[in-house]
Chains A and B, each alone.
Chain A
Amino acid sequence: MPTAMDLDELYHASYRRLVVQIYAICGDLAAAEDAVQDAFVTALRKESQFARVSNPEAWVRTVALNGVRHGWRHASVVRRYQAKVPGPQGSVDVGPEHVAIVAALEELDAGQREAVVLHYLADLAVADVAAQLGVPEGTVKSRLARARDRLADLLDDTGDDKEELRHV
């Protein structure tokens, strides 16, 4: 069960990678930071419930993912009742190489993009991706296969990457 100290450790250990994963899904770094911070705020507000969660990082990721899904930004109806989170803490140099991969990911449909990010960036097993997305493992495998093909085509300009993606 996560304690206050565990939450502190979880925050510092996982914040960056969660932001990257959410960024890869929504394509907006500020929105990703907002969503991850909001998810940790939710965890802090529901500490007793959070303490019973078996996989706290997956819980935070799910809450953050729900936060960015579809609309990418929190709705005014939510903001009306919620104090603002601190926001991005410093400028991040998003170079053209980052833009290229995020742009390619954006070309995938949402289900494929989430599967790719959870499997390849969050390093979740196919079964865990299936559990997180609430779909059968076969669906995850087919989404990954289609996504790999699509990304390979999209990133065709960088030949090494195509080969790399096929073998990840």
Chain B
Amino acid sequence: MSELDVLRRIGDQIVPPPLEALRETARRRDRRARVATSLAVAAIVVATAATTAYLGRDSDRRIEPAPAPTVRLLTYADASTIHFGEHTVEADAPVVELDVTDDGVGFRTDDGRIWFTDGSTTDQLGALGETGPGYGDTWPLTSRPGWLLSPNAGSRLVWFEFPAPGEPEVVVYDTDTGQEVARDTVALQPGHTAVPALLSDRFVYLIKDPNPEEMPEDQALVRYDPATGEQTRITEQDLIRDLDADAAVRSIRLKGDGRWDSSDAFHYSDGMGQQMALNLRNGVAGVDGVAPVGSGDMRAEDVSGRTFAFEPPQDYPDKTGVAWLVQWLDDQTVVVLSPLPQRTDLIVCHLESKTCGVGASAPTGIVAPDFGKSESIG
């Protein structure tokens, strides 16, 4: 008898619980999900009221830093090589997108497979599958580039999979425990599309039927709650309220950037993909040093109310293009991607000292967190 047959024989001793007991468990979970939905709705109402009362119209709330802030590593991919702090990880195929959690790097290779590496071991988590009709090459212009995203702190990683073309599932995964937390089919009528847009500690936000010719805030937004599976169509104002209520330390406060609503109010953003000016001392959009720049007269602060602007690295060359905020390394440190014609710089800026330095110089065309492939457009 082979050892494997010995294992098979264990099965003879196993007594399955009655299927009805599992049915009851399923019913309890469904009931609990419905209760959680009700509580979440109530919490949103309370939080919204409290936020409005406390913050006023100008979101003056100050967020205290977490007691034990996590530190992330400067991360990017050059073809199939992932640079993760001092680690170098070789992927099976070229990396087309990646994002970082407190535990490592989630990434997708150009064959559609989705992976996670902690710098020493790499595991496949899933596969994108065939997206199907309606998902063109231009849709990322409307939101973030790709199917994979993570927040600025924590262990949550979210991605889309397509078990069948045109029928996406949203998958929520915990990179600390290595467990899938939630997986639900995105509710879509035939012929419609959806893409992941952004993520908070509570919710995943999707854009339905993304239109490259419209600004993200003008797109149809859907809020997905991993705890309940609920998918709710929301307005731009709902999103602003959510982001204000859920804002974490690694956020920036933006006002008058020509996006969101037209009121003279600060609103919170995770900052990822924020367009930055770099060393434009003589006046593009009135920005000095390294600072956010938008289509309007923009003001940006960190959550402590300090101006979100930095001195450029010493002797850094003037450039006329733009840069992008791509990563928070800790509560006080951000990374700005500067795509130059001959190389890509990852510039590390400190909120306290207001100074920046070049953290890494990489070839053109690297893939950065929450950004995708770097291309010089200046």
Contact = CB atoms under 8 A, between A and B. Distances in A.
B17 A120 contact: no
B29 interface: yes
Interface in A23-65: 23-24, 29, 33, 37, 40-41, 44-45, 49
Contacts of B33: 81
A20 B8 contact: yes
Interface in B174-212: 174, 176-181, 185
B3 A19 contact: no
Nearest to B6: A97
Given A75-B181, A98-B7, A120-B4, 8 more contacts: A37-B22, A77-B174, A81-B227, A81-B228, A86-B25, A94-B10, A121-B7, A134-B127
B2 A165 contact: yes
Contact of B19 (A8, A74, A102): A8
Contacts of A168: 2, 4
Interface of B: 2-4, 6-8, 10-19, 21-23, 25-26, 28-30, 32-33, 36, 113, 123-124, 126-127, 174, 176-181, 185, 227-228
A40 B4 contact: no
Contact of A71 (B4, B124, B178): B178
Which of B16, B174, B178, B228 has the most chain A CB atoms inside 10 A of its CB? B16
Interface size class of A (residues with CB under 8 A): 35 or more
A71 B174 CA distance: 10
B7 A101 contact: yes
A130 to B, nearest CB: 12
6 contacts: A78-B181, A81-B228, A86-B22, A89-B17, A101-B3, A120-B4
Contacts of A70: 123, 177-179
Interface of A: 7-8, 11-12, 15-17, 19-20, 23-24, 29, 33, 37, 40-41, 44-45, 49, 66-67, 69-71, 73-75, 77-78, 81-87, 89-90, 92-94, 97-98, 100-102, 104, 110, 120-121, 133-135, 155, 158, 161, 164-165, 168
A25 to B, nearest CB: 11
A134 B124 CA distance: 8
Contact of B10 (A7, A20, A86): A20
A122 to B, nearest CB: 11
Contact of A44 (B11, B22, B227): B22
A92 B14 contact: yes
A62 B283 CA distance: 57
B16 A92 contact: no
A103 to B, nearest CB: 11
Contacts of A23: 7, 10
A41 B19 CA distance: 9
B44 to A, nearest CB: 17
Contacts of B10: 20, 23, 29, 92, 94, 98
A92 B123 contact: no
B17 A86 contact: yes
Which of A15, A102, A133 has the most chain B CB atoms inside 10 A of its CB? A15
B178 A82 contact: no
Contacts of A15: 14, 16
A108 B14 CA distance: 25
B185 A49 contact: yes
Contacts of A155: 3
Contacts of A94: 10
Nearest to B16: A15
A168 B28 CA distance: 44
Contacts of B174: 75, 77
B370 to A, nearest CB: 23
Contact of A41 (B4, B16, B29): B29
Contacts of B227: 81
A84 B7 contact: no
B191 to A, nearest CB: 18
A74 B174 CA distance: 11
B180 A66 contact: yes
B30 A45 contact: yes
Nearest to B5: A164
Given A20-B8, A41-B22, A168-B2, A82 B17 contact: no
